[in-house]
A and B are shown apart, each in its own frame.
Chain A
């Protein structure tokens, strides 16, 4: 299997290197794997995830995402990479002035797919996340759980090779959490996407084999 993420002596720091969050960590994640990253609050889980989509640059060592060095990546290459990554946020990050349907197809709009493709894909995904009736609503008309399902649909809309989820069920009720886990399991199992989920707690019922990394004192350790 090909490596999707390869970290070698990866160090991530804030304040120009003064505040080290991830310290000299080495690990790799393969295509199609489902990975949980856990750790205490402030341990650096979200920081590690942000470095995977280029929001934060590594301080030292190397981090390859889809074969691209995130330390040396150019802005244009980064935008190109992001078009093939699905990202799910704890606070949903939906565009409130856009309808649910338009939010879902945002990655398709960015890539330049035509309206017909966008409509078909939005219909399919909204049906998967059980929000077919809400296509023309605006995010603020939905509950938190519904908004997160829109966020998941958006992340899956372009069949990304990598899905990064930051506490995707952190604010959700049981039903919405169940829908989100099902969708992520499907993405990994059926689409062969690599799914990396940062969470406080691994769900008790989970049907796929997965890997578990824990971040402690700046180190990223795999739990066997």
Chain B
């Protein structure tokens, strides 16, 4: 990750703009229904995940992947030629954008199949193992529970990075900005940050001596990621266009 990012020399680029949800009615509606669907589906499977995490988490990946694909296909502009934002008329430097007035009806279903496929492959083969490694660095068991950790990472990856890959593709510079929190906030980016923060917070109840079944690895992490993802998606939509400052 580091090397590809580092080799990209930062040259003056057009300032990144937040991702808009497609202006179609279906997209505008479904983007709000989507998190409810995802979280309810997770809640429904929660007991079986608690009972036996590995098979249940593996099973739960399928509906999650389908829902996320449906979401990106309906609501989001795919990467590629269409990723360059259409010049919009907003004044430079203004904070929150006016809602989707831009005609960006691009890409038929067929055209979108490629980024959908791409994002699914990258989310499952690249970011999921990477996230699993990060989980281990944060203290996940090193020698045991590998499948648990990998599945947790896969869930976080499908939630957080799949839509991002769909929108931004594999553009190194864009991903450097994404990792460095340099992009303006939007609902896709906010969902990613929320998912990661949620997973981080999910570690809090693990050590408590409540002797609950759901405290087992990695239930709390995955739950935190789902909740954080939904909250982050909503906040990202509300605070669209804001930048994250470190100083």
Partners in one complex: no
Residues of A within 8 A of B (CB): none
